[in-house]
């Protein structure tokens, strides 16, 4: 609970600190423009966090640097697009992440499992190539052009005339991401599978000695991480647009989120996603060309001050 409190405190401190810093520098700050930047950043940060939590789950237990995570996000988005005419938006939102996770389970059994215990560079190279294969496969099946992604009309209207940017779908996305993150932490802290995953991240050999099927544990953990990617894809397509590169554009910021939050810390990953997203959103509201650079500047500053990340564990990968 203390780390969750730090996540909330860090987020509030960034929003307030950025506002008063701009005031001190003599910048005129229309509150509406600032609110647009914060809320847009919150949406982007929610996607970064959802992506990075899945990446972090897989990295923490299996030591796999999953560069194909963005590809799985794209699979989730395109599966949802395909399912919408048959089961509607709400049905697709539920089914697509599970189908994506099933695909991930199969890939883990066929490809990823062979690299456990080896240098992480092998998994990086494999998943890097797999990401290109997924992207080309999507182009072959659904073609290269962007596709229309239908969301319910009730979610497309603005909730307020003053804050016209605050649409029902944007609020729904933030709420659903919060629910998904809360459910993930509940699973990790209250279920037998979650407790085994947490124990495995600390000492997998001891977990194996105690009789836990480590192969199955890694497989289910990988599937859980891919489920989060599929959910992010099914949600994000309605906001970011549906194209074969939808996941490619999010993968590098997601790795930055893990580094900023700290390796081995899921609360740190959540905090990193929110901080990076909101900082990028505020910067974009005032000087859009610098929004992407802000992500890497923040990473550099945090690593200079705290090399293990905000909530990272000392020597996590040594």
User: Hey, where are the domains in the chain?
Assistant: 2-11+39-147+181-305
Return the sign of the alpha-carbon dihedral for residues 195, 199, 200, 205. negative
Give the C-alpha separation, 170 to 236, whole Å: 10
Of 32, 43, 78, 45, nearest in space to 294 by CA: 45
pLDDT at 232: 94
3-class SS letters over 124-179: HHHHHHHHHHHHHHHHHHHCCCCECCCCCHHHCCECCCCCCCCEHHHHHHHHHHHH
What residue ranges of the chain have pLDDT lower than 50? 1, 24-25, 317-318
Non-local (6+) Cβ contacts of 21 within 8 A are none
Half-sphere exposure of 39 (CA within 13 A, CB side): 18
Give the C-alpha separation, 40 to 43, whole Å: 5
SS3 content of the chain, % helix, strand, coil (to 5): 80, 0, 20
| Eight-state DSSP code of residue 56 | H
Could you give the C-alpha distances from 107 to 69, 72, 130, 152, 282, in angstroms and in order?
Answer: 12, 11, 10, 33, 39
Domain 2-11+39-147+181-305 has CATH 1.10.287: no
Q: Is 239 in contact with 170 (CB distance < 8 Å)?
A: yes
pLDDT at 275: 85
Q: Which helix or strand (DSSP H or E) is residue 211 part of?
A: none
* Entry pTM: 0.88
pLDDT digit string, tens, across residues 129-154: 999 999 999 999 999 899 999 898 88
pLDDT digit string, tens, across residues 233-287: 999 898 888 999 998 888 898 999 999 988 888 888 888 888 888 888 877 777 7
pLDDT at 165: 66
Nearest 10 degrees: CA dihedral of 29, 35, 37, 42?
150
């Amino acid at each position: 609970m203390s780390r969750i409190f730090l996540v909330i405190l860090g987020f509030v401190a960034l929003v307030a600190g950025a506002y008063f810093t701009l005031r001190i520098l003599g910048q005129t700050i229309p509150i509406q423009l600032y609110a647009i930047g914060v809320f847009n950043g919150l949406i982007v940060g929610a996607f970064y966090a959802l992506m990075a939590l899945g990446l972090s789950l897989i990295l923490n237990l299996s030591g796999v640097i999953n560069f194909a995570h963005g590809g799985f996000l794209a699979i989730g988005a395109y599966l949802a697009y395909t399912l919408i005419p048959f089961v509607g938006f709400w049905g697709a939102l539920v089914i697509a992440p599970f189908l994506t996770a099933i695909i991930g389970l199969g890939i883990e059994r066929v490809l990823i499992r062979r690299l456990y215990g080896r240098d992480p560079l092998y998994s990086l190279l494999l998943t890097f190539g797999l990401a290109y294969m997924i992207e080309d496969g999507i182009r072959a099946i659904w073609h290269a052009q962007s596709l229309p992604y239908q969301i319910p009309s009730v979610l497309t209207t603005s909730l307020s005339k003053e804050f016209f940017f605050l649409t029902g779908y944007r609020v729904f996305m933030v709420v659903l991401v919060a629910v998904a993150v809360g459910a993930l932490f509940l699973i990790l802290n209250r279920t037998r599978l979650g407790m085994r995953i947490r124990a495995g991240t600390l000492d997998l050999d001891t977990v194996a000695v105690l009789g836990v099927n480590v192969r199955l544990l890694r497989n289910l953990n990988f599937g859980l991480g891919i489920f989060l990617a599929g959910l992010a894809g099914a949600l994000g397509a309605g906001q970011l647009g549906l194209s074969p590169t939808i996941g490619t554009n999010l993968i590098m910021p997601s790795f930055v989120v893990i580094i900023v939050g700290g390796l081995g810390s899921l609360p740190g990953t959540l905090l990193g996603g929110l901080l990076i997203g909101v900082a990028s959103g505020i910067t974009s509201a005032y000087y859009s060309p610098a929004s992407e650079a802000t992500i890497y500047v923040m990473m550099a500053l945090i690593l200079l001050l705290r090399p293990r990340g905000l909530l990272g564990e000392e020597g996590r990968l040594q």
